[in-house]
Amino acid sequence: MSTFEALLLALLILMLLVGGKQGFSNFMALLINLVLMVLAVILIAGGFNAIGVAVVIAFIVLATTIFLSTADSNVAATAFVASLLVTVLVLAVIVIGVSLAHVQGFGTEDSEELEGYNLLIGVSFQNILIATALFSTLGAIAEAAVAVAAGMAELGGHATAQGLTKMSGEIIGTALNTLFFGFFGGFAGLFIWFTQLKYPFWQVLNNKIFAGELIQVLFSMIAVTLTVPLTMWVVKTREKGNHA
């Protein structure tokens, strides 16, 4: 058994012990999303428009993540609607941001590994960056939407403006910290390299690899910040519709 298989098995066992049937559903959602990501890569490499593939796969990923990870159908439906709205808004932000940033493609640090390879692969690197940026926001969007929808459903008629504001701040703060430390942990090696080579601060900020990843994290942070109020709005709108 390989290390990957052992860790996957350990994850399944822990999810079953902690979450039971719901834990198994969450594990299946993870596997389905993994297959969807591989499918997206195959379709983009096959010549399909990267942005179009990303949008279709993103909707399926959101549906899989939310409906398999949430036992309450009302919470899941609310979170899914809110997630779709946020995804559309974030996609517009991503397209504008990527177009202005000009960080698509490879950096100078990749030159040694890419030497001898042909980069004329017939796929727009800008579209690929837009697609990957959209994919990177999906987990944060789904998590925040479910958390808000479930919290408001649990509070019900006892929810107050002050309580909702506090809940929003805690959800956003936790999600932003998760995204930040995930980014820092994933690029710790690159940061050490920058330090050892004595890169000046301005050069680090203008490095294509660093800037590209930082921009994607910022997209995810924007997505989380948008998800919380939009999910609350969807919950209140559905409640008004049910009482009408």
Q: Determine the pLDDT at residue 162.
A: 72
Position 119: which residue type? Answer: L
Is 52 within a domain?
Answer: no
As for how many domains the chain has, the answer is 1
Residue 94 has pLDDT above 70, yes or no: yes
Does residue 117 sit within a domain? yes
Residue-number span of the structural domain to which 172 is assigned: 74-243
Q: Is residue 187 part of a domain?
A: yes
The answer to whether residue 112 is domain-embedded is: yes
In a domain, residue 156? The reply is: yes
> What pLDDT band is residue 38 in, cutting at 50, 70 and 90?
very high
The mean per-residue pLDDT over the stretch 149-158 comes to 75
pLDDT at residue 20 tops 90 = no
This prediction's pTM = 0.81
* Mean predicted lDDT score pLDDT of the chain: 81
> What is the pLDDT confidence band of residue 179, given thresholds at 50, 70 and 90?
confident
82 within domain boundaries:
yes
In a domain, 19, yes or no: no
Q: How far apart are CA 66 and CA 73, in angstroms?
A: 10
Predicted confidence band at 204 (pLDDT cuts at 50, 70, 90)?
A: confident
91 within a domain of the structure (yes/no): yes
Residue 118 predicted with pLDDT over 60: no
Assign 112 a pLDDT band (cuts: 50, 70, 90): low
